[in-house]
């Protein structure tokens, strides 16, 4: 069987605008590029380390340095790779998914078919995707909305002390459907209910993580109350009980950097579907490489938030693309379909 | 790339009991075995030709005789095989799925992994499966129910002029959950509603094809009326509009011999999920070979009716298996995991 060489490098991506959500601001994404080579074929993967989970570019590369490629006995047996990675303990999910992504990319290239073909995807085209408007000064919001003119759905970050002002300002310049990401910003049930009552008349299609992940009984109460679909984001890494999530939310937002595996993400989608959950795929700030892996997963999802690569000004790759209605689609190329720009 | 040799033979399977549904009786299944060989590896497939769709053992072998294996350029590109088969025109679905099944079995064996691993199945274990009690004289039914003692769910064929007598007789000897297959037997909406009112108190979990496939508006009315899940069977071959099916039924019953493709079946499951449909996998009278392919698909389904191989007394193969609660599971073996008994 194939003998693999593993390489990894820092991949520092520069943001177009300083990006602010309720927890932090930043203007660089310190990611990691992974290359897995065998038989003259290179598979590519990308990690976007998440400080919320105690990950950094350094910790990511350190974890990769400890991986022994001789542990890949049969490269097509990705479950075996997951067992090897699981045995290194919990955490390091962005490094783990980058390595698995590189192996899947290699598999597709080796077999000379796109991964969406190998996985029997319903089509090469996923859901309509949103464009995120970050938290900004109220007077700047109309310009931010105008910059998003090509995008049919806007995702608005809330969880501030001026949420209604933000929505009212946005509604003064556009009537596009909105997705809301509260990022755990509403701290009690009455506040969340009051915001949702306000949002229910504002063409809002979904609300991510209205309250903190720890407030399970309040989230369950909010699910029954809310006429708008609520989605688990901070409440969902991929390692929680699907039944418990279904009690608290209408859906789940998968992110590969949290789940730590494309294969586990696919399995979670199927388990979530059986539990009647809506399925969303999200991303971190990452290049078209990792975001093409997310776009691949989106082919099985109801909602897709895949603008991470649009927020950076030096994306080295091209892969996922968007049609006129902003539905994401995968290139007809082997593996993930990603090439250097 | 691999150069394939195609072989096919009659596979005549003998039934334990003469099998009767509302349309016909039979005591032999005249199936076809397909072998696809390359690189010293043989992939196996099975066709169960369906007379409802003008198929026979002969027509099936005739179609196979016209297939040119040189058309398999890249064996991992199953979509390309489907395009070649589609180009032969509509029909011959059991022959087509047998050939595709053999190619998928070959792919799994070539890559040395089970197909459920290659396809990122949520697990190797599917839904709890039923055992079918065919239409029989009322006085024989208690014995038929006792013969089904190991099975936790019974599927009852109705659509006769003594449906309530059948259910009452079965309920006099067991309180197991029942699935009903009316096989288009209720010919008008009032009859269907009346039967469903009766069945609603009888621990019936689902009803397949309550009325003829052509009665779309009545089926839609019945969907809103019925407290029991209704499933499309004769209404669903895999080539209908999913939205139209979702208007008429709560779910769909996939059968590989009708759909003509495992890959299309997987795609239909994902499209059906997005439309909120329950998903069932069924089978024809077939050996453990074709039924293992159905069991593979069942890993993504809510309901599974996979007793086709249990109804024959000379099953040459072993593959799919059942645990103590009669959940179907796949063997941990490459490809479909089927071997000679």
What residues in B contact A302, CB-CB < 8 Å? 274
| Gyration radius (Cα) of chain A, Å | 20
Name the residue of chain A whose CA is nearest to B110's CA.
A76
A 291-320 near B (Cβ less than 8 A): 300, 302
CB contact under 8 A, B74 and A111: yes
Confidence of residue B55 (pLDDT cuts 50, 70, 90): very high
Confidence of residue A52 (pLDDT cuts 50, 70, 90): confident
* DSSP-assigned beta bridge partners for residue A110: none
CB contact under 8 A, A77 and B302: no
ipTM over the 0.85 cut-off: yes
Q: What is the mean pLDDT of residues B189-194?
A: 97
A270: contact with B, CB 8 A cutoff: yes
Q: Give phi and psi for B201, each to the nearest 5.
A: -100, 10
Among A74, A270, A273, select the one facing B112 at the smallest CB separation.
A74
Taking the C-alpha atoms of A15, A17, A23 and A28 in order, what is their torsion angle to the nearest 10 degrees? 20
| Same domain membership, residue B329 and residue B209 | yes
- Contact predicate B258/B281, CB 8 Å: no
**Å between A14 CA and nearest CA of chain B:** 34
Strands (E), B21-107: 25-38, 41-47
| Same domain membership, residue A302 and residue A174 | yes
Name the residue of chain B whose CA is nearest to A110's CA.
B76
CB–CB contacts below 8 A, A to B: 53
**Å between B119 CA and nearest CA of chain A:** 5
CB contact under 8 A, A120 and B300: no
Greater model confidence, B17 or A112: A112
B123: contact with A, CB 8 A cutoff: yes
What residues in A contact B112, CB-CB < 8 Å? 74, 76-77
| Same domain membership, residue A172 and residue A68 | no
pLDDT score of A240: 95
CB contact under 8 A, B77 and A266: no
pLDDT score of B33: 98
Q: What is the mean pLDDT of residues A156-183?
A: 95
Judge whether residue B34 has pLDDT over 60: yes
- What tokens appear for B216 in the block? 């779309």
pTM of the full structure: 0.95
What residues in B contact A123, CB-CB < 8 Å? 267
Strands (E), A91-203: 125-128, 130-133, 153-157, 178-181
B118: contact with A, CB 8 A cutoff: yes
pLDDT score of B5: 98
Q: What is the mean pLDDT of residues B320-333?
A: 96
| Same domain membership, residue A19 and residue A81 | yes
CA distance A165 to A167: 6
pLDDT in tens, A107-137: 999 999 999 999 999 999 999 999 988 778 9
CB contact under 8 A, B266 and A120: yes
CA distance B47 to A34: 45
What integer best gives the mean pLDDT of chain B? 95
pLDDT score of A2: 79
pLDDT in tens, B162-184: 999 999 999 999 999 999 999 99
Q: What's the CATH code of the domain at A174?
A: 3.20.20.120
| Same domain membership, residue B139 and residue B91 | no
pLDDT > 90: percent of chain B: 91
pLDDT in tens, A90-102: 999 999 999 999 9
pLDDT score of A1: 66
Q: What is the mean pLDDT of residues B283-309?
A: 96
Judge whether residue A12 has pLDDT over 60: yes
Q: Which residue segment(s) compose the domain that A97 sits in?
A: 5-111
A333: contact with B, CB 8 A cutoff: no
- Contact predicate B8/B46, CB 8 Å: no
CB contact under 8 A, B118 and A118: yes
A42: contact with B, CB 8 A cutoff: no
A47-50: long-range contacts at Cβ-Cβ below 8 A with a sequence spacing of 24 or more? A47/A94, A47/A95, A47/A97, A47/A98, A47/A257, A47/A290, A48/A94, A48/A257, A48/A284, A48/A285, A48/A286, A48/A290, A48/A308, A49/A94, A49/A95, A49/A257, A50/A93, A50/A94, A50/A257, A50/A258, A50/A284
* Last-in-domain residue among B63, B80, B111: B111
CA distance A82 to B117: 12
pLDDT in tens, B107-166: 999 999 999 999 999 999 999 999 988 778 999 999 999 989 999 999 999 999 999 999
| Same domain membership, residue A168 and residue A59 | no
CB contact under 8 A, B267 and A112: no
Among A79, A111, A273, select the one facing B117 at the smallest CB separation.
A79
CB contact under 8 A, A271 and B122: yes
Taking the C-alpha atoms of B243, B244, B250 and B254 in order, what is their torsion angle to the nearest 10 degrees? -90
CB contact under 8 A, A118 and B76: yes
Q: Give phi and psi for A322, each to the nearest 5.
A: -130, 140
Least confident of A51-55, B29-33, B60-64, B187-191: A51-55
| Gyration radius (Cα) of chain B, Å | 20
B 44-83 near A (Cβ less than 8 A): 74, 76-79
pLDDT score of B22: 57
Strands (E), chain A: 5-20, 25-38, 41-47, 125-128, 130-133, 153-157, 178-181, 204-208, 229-232, 251-254, 278-281, 303-304, 317-318, 321-322, 327-329, 339-340
The three-state secondary structure class of B158 is coil
What residues in A contact B275, CB-CB < 8 Å? none
CA A204 to chain centre: 20
* Last-in-domain residue among A68, A88, A111: A111
Binning chain A into helix, strand and coil, the percentages to the nearest 5 are 35, 25, 40
Among B74, B113, B271, select the one facing A112 at the smallest CB separation.
B74
B327: contact with A, CB 8 A cutoff: no
What residues in A contact B242, CB-CB < 8 Å? none
In 3D, which of B89, B94, B102 has the Cα closest to residue B38? B102
Longest dimension (CA), chain A: 61
**Å between A195 CA and nearest CA of chain B:** 28
Q: What's the CATH code of the domain at B60?
A: 3.30.390.10
CA distance A27 to B125: 46
B242: contact with A, CB 8 A cutoff: no
| Same domain membership, residue A62 and residue A15 | yes
| Same domain membership, residue B163 and residue B73 | no
| Same domain membership, residue B249 and residue B107 | no
| Same domain membership, residue A145 and residue A126 | yes
| Same domain membership, residue A126 and residue A80 | no
pLDDT score of B110: 98
B93: contact with A, CB 8 A cutoff: no
How many helices and strands (H and E) does chain B possess?
Answer: 12, 16
pLDDT in tens, B223-265: 999 999 999 999 999 999 999 999 999 999 999 999 999 999 9
Confidence of residue B26 (pLDDT cuts 50, 70, 90): confident
For testing contact with chain B, the best of A273, A293, A297, A330 (most B CBs within 10 A): A273
| Same domain membership, residue A280 and residue A135 | yes
Among A77, A271, A274, select the one facing B117 at the smallest CB separation.
A77
What integer best gives the mean pLDDT of chain A? 95
What residues in B contact A74, CB-CB < 8 Å? 111-113
Q: How many domains does chain B have?
A: 2
pLDDT score of B19: 67
A3: contact with B, CB 8 A cutoff: no
Phi-psi region of A120 (alpha: psi -120 to 50; beta: other; left: phi over 0): left
CB contact under 8 A, A121 and B267: yes
* Last-in-domain residue among B111, B134, B149: B111
CA distance B262 to B97: 7
pLDDT > 90: percent of chain A: 91
Q: Which residues contact A341 (CB under 8 A, 6 or more apart)?
A: A288, A315, A316, A317, A318
């Amino acid at each position: 069987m194939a003998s693999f060489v593993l390489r990894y490098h820092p991949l520092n991506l520069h943001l177009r605008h300083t990006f602010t959500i309720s927890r932090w601001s930043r203007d660089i994404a310190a990611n990691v590029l992974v290359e897995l080579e065998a038989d003259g074929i290179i598979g590519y993967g990308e990690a976007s380390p998440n400080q919320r989970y105690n990950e950094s570019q350094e910790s990511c590369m350190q974890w990769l340095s400890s991986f022994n490629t001789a542990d890949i006995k049969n490269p097509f047996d990705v479950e075996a790779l997951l067992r090897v990675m699981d045995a290194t303990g919990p955490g390091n999910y962005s490094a783990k998914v980058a390595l698995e992504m590189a192996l899947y990319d290699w598999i597709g290239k080796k077999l000379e078919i796109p991964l969406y073909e190998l996985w029997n995807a319903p089509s090469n085209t996923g859901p309509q995707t949103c464009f995120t408007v970050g938290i900004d000064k109220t007077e700047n919001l109309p310009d931010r909305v105008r910059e998003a003119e090509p995008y049919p759905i806007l995702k608005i970050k809330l969880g501030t002390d001026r949420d209604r002002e933000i929505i009212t300002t946005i509604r003064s310049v556009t009537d596009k459907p909105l997705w809301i990401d509260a990022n755990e910003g509403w701290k009690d049930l009455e506040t969340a209910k009051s915001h949702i009552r306000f949002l229910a008349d504002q063409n809002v299609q979904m609300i991510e993580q209205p309250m903190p992940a720890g407030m399970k009984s309040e989230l369950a109460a909010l699910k029954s109350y809310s006429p708008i679909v609520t989605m688990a984001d901070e409440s969902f890494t991929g390692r929680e009980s699907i039944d418990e999530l279904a009690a608290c939310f209408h859906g789940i937002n998968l992110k590969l950097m949290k789940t730590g595996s494309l294969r586990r993400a696919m399995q979670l989608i199927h388990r979530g579907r059986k539990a009647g959950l809506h399925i969303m795929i999200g991303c971190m700030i990452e290049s078209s490489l990792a975001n093409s892996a997310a776009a691949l997963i989106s082919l099985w999802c109801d909602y897709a938030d895949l603008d991470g690569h649009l927020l950076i000004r030096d994306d080295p790759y091209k892969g996922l693309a968007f049609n006129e209605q902003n539905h994401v689609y995968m290139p007809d190329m082997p593996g993930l379909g990603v090439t250097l720009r």
